[in-house]
Amino acid sequence: MSQGGRHPVAVAVIKAVHTGVFLVELMSIGWLVATGLTGRRDRSVAIAAGAVAIEAAVFVGNDRVCPLTPLTVKLGATRGTVSDIFLPDAIARAIPIWSGALVGLAVLLHARSALHARRPS
């Protein structure tokens, strides 16, 4: 995203914050997949699931637009997006696709684990 406009430093700060949120979400999704594979069910899984659920609800509830987007436009971003978060555009645009697929996989793995835990040995 070009930072031309009135507040390039503020746009860069928003991108940095967005990158931090992205990394936390990526780690949460990775944790959910890993713990789904191992059958781990504890507070860390609940925290990761909560973080992912909140992020998904905010994104979907905002018509699949990051809520930081209007702020970056107001501050002078030349494009109405913060999805590039210092990544190439093609990769950034694919994030909802592959992250959604990984969340779906994590849900299936945890459902499988929960079903196996309920079965008598």
Measured between alpha carbons, how far is 14 from 84 in angstroms, rounded to an integer? 12
Is residue 39 in a domain?
A: yes
In a domain, 2, yes or no: no
39 close to 116: Cβ distance less than 8 angstroms: yes
How many folded domains does the chain comprise? 1
Q: Is residue 84 part of a domain?
A: yes
User: Residue 114 belongs to what domain range?
Assistant: 8-118
The H or E element that residue 33 is part of is helix 8-38
1 in any annotated domain: no
pTM here? 0.82
Each residue's pLDDT, cut to its tens digit, for the chain (121 residues) gives: 444 458 888 888 888 888 899 899 999 999 999 999 999 999 999 999 999 999 999 989 999 888 888 888 888 777 666 655 667 778 878 888 999 999 999 999 999 999 988 877 6
Kindly state the tokens that stand for 79.
């494009």
Domain assignment present for 104: yes
Nearest to residue 26, comparing CAs of 72, 89, 90, 91? 91
Kindly state whether residue 67 falls inside one of the protein's structural domains: yes
Q: What angle do CA 86, 68, 103 make, to 5 degrees?
A: 75
